[in-house]
Amino acid sequence: MNETQQLTIVTGASTGLGAAAARELARRGFHVLAGVRRDADADAIRSADIEPVALDITEPEQVAALAARVASDPRPLHALVNNAGIQVNAPVETLPMEQWRWTFEVNLFGHISVTQALLPALLRSKGRVVNVSSIGGKVAMPTYGAYAGTKFALEAVSDSLRREVAPLGVPVIVVEPGGVRTEMATRGIATANRLAAQMTPEQEERYGDLVQANNSLMASGTESGLTAEAAARVVAKAVTTRRPRTRYTIGRDAALITRLTRLLSDRMLDRVIATNLRRHYPKGAPA
């Protein structure tokens, strides 16, 4: 494979795993089209082999412009890495419906939109689709209903797409990160606190300590997680391996949790999750 003659696309490349994956793929010789939303992010990531493109995956005009950019390039498209996403955490009862819809718009429908637009190019080049999911696509923690819902759905769409296009020469790979030291957790905690502030007093009594415990667990898991650069090397492996697996986990926590979902009953997994979460409840709070 002559990587210098091939394109890759990474969505959500402004910061974190997306930015690290764009740099790792560029280091390996690809010309990377890096989807960003702000001019400052474009300036930060631009290099000889990284070409920032304005891309909000929920905006059809920008998705169409990306497809046109690829169509105008004589180099084949080797891979589309669907990485963009947001983290929204709140109890099912309290999360406003517009937030449910927006989370699915970004974390699921946006990826489908980009994939539909780029599949003709990928089919021509026998390229591949790499969907960045999460361990949240395997197990849904409390307050993760919306986020995990999008990731479970992305896993299902990936399976369906793989079975549709593998016979046509296009592999579809899912990458499932656990804790990764990026800004996503910080933004997720801020969003969780903002949503918690909108709860009624009765909802606060029911779920306030749970939200705090989950924020603490999220911060702890991120702090002990892999660096974005280490995680990006797994994404690059999914992009470059000649015969890729259908799924790759990132981090020991992701590998462990994925294994537990296969071995434990729902009730037993509930107890494991509750025990792990109990350590993060505020002192004196019932867990």
Catalytic residue (choose from 147, 207, 248, 281): 147
d(CA 182, CA 277): 22
The two tokens of residue 74 are 């004589």
- In the chain, the DSSP E strands lie at 7-10, 31-36, 50-54, 77-82, 128-132, 172-177, 180-181, 226-227, 247-250
Compute the chain's Rg from CA coordinates: 19
| Position 157, amino acid | V
The torsion of the CA quartet 106, 112, 118, 120, rounded to 10 degrees, works out to: -170
Active-site residue, 147 included? yes
Quote the CA–CA distance of 105 and 120 in Å, as a whole number: 23
Pick from 195, 221, 191, 219: nearest CA to 207 = 195
- For residue 131, give the nearest of 164, 107, 163 by alpha carbon: 107
Strand 172-177 to 128-132 pairing: parallel
What is the C-alpha to C-alpha distance for residues 129 and 190, in angstroms, rounded to an integer? 31
Residues tagged active-site: 147
